[in-house]
Structure 1
């Protein structure tokens, strides 16, 4: 349901509160992309209640912005309510994704984990791609969400990805407004992200080839299964 603001003319600034399943579904990146496309300024962040946006520009473009977010949201997203309020016009020149404020009691939903999208599967099976065979491949359209959350709102620092510092290539993808991994919080690769390892029943690491590469780990695991051993495998969410 959209609650219309007081009518204004010319330049305006709207505060927009989106609630529903709007975290962990590529919602902030989409908001930022649309704002840049329309030449609007302002900011967006996750918080305890969902996603909050302040956006500024010609009022006709602000209405187009809200309509575009509704129309282009990911299939995994669900907007339950859109509340718009009018704010004073500010002196600014950019649209930013801001850090999420923390500390409030959560009243929003986090998106569920999803299977790899077609684009990620293509990278996964391309020997020329730097994520070829990387088990934890993901982007804003797919990958782990709910199972990596340690506390909300959904920012990398509040997930199990926090200890993994992105390499320069992953960071560039994370910052690329036009890329599939723009502000995708689990962004990682075989250089900077988590990898599979094999532990014995006592929790000790098992050597799997000279480099302990994932393909070696999986080969050893397959041999164990073939021999009738029991193996527990953790999924992408850990």
Structure 2
């Protein structure tokens, strides 16, 4: 953990130094670092331990509508079962005029006995290929609709009556809306549901139904000033009605 904190401090200092240097030219590459009390994703608890997340993006064209990059995360300590949480994801995305289309390769080693980042076998792979789409209607009506489909991966598979492996194509849909904006503290609300395109169950629920509400919650956010440094802070509260749990998350965007 000490090594991780030293790396974060060094990266933070480097970012401040870059910001103070007015002569540096623009770069197509950018990254940011978040510290979170836990990691929540589509109503699922990926880890209940404090964690760090790094998001790196690379512009593929001048306007920045096409990007690629990776997202990585790791917890500061092991889970209660002794396993550790580490994740690395790769993506390509097109985003313009409120529309976003992206393909993500998700790889999480938690619970893997012999993790193999190069294993893409449909039955054993720890990877999930995730097609993500969203649309925001704009300032006059800032509603965001999201629909994401898992296209490939052993974690979202099932066996049919002939013991043949097949994908469930678990799908997540969400509606989110800013309830309070342009204020000292902003508030967003969201409602998400899960279902499968091929099967009786899906990844996000309790394994009993083909359609469930899985992610209902609120996100409050504000910026805390520390001298001349602004620190974006958010807190999320969510409920998963299908899995019957709730969580609160506190997150800091270091830069």
The two structures have a TM-score, normalised by structure 2, of 0.24
Task: Decide which structure has greater helix share.
Answer: 1
Structure scoring higher RCO (CA < 8 A, sep ≥ 6) equals 1
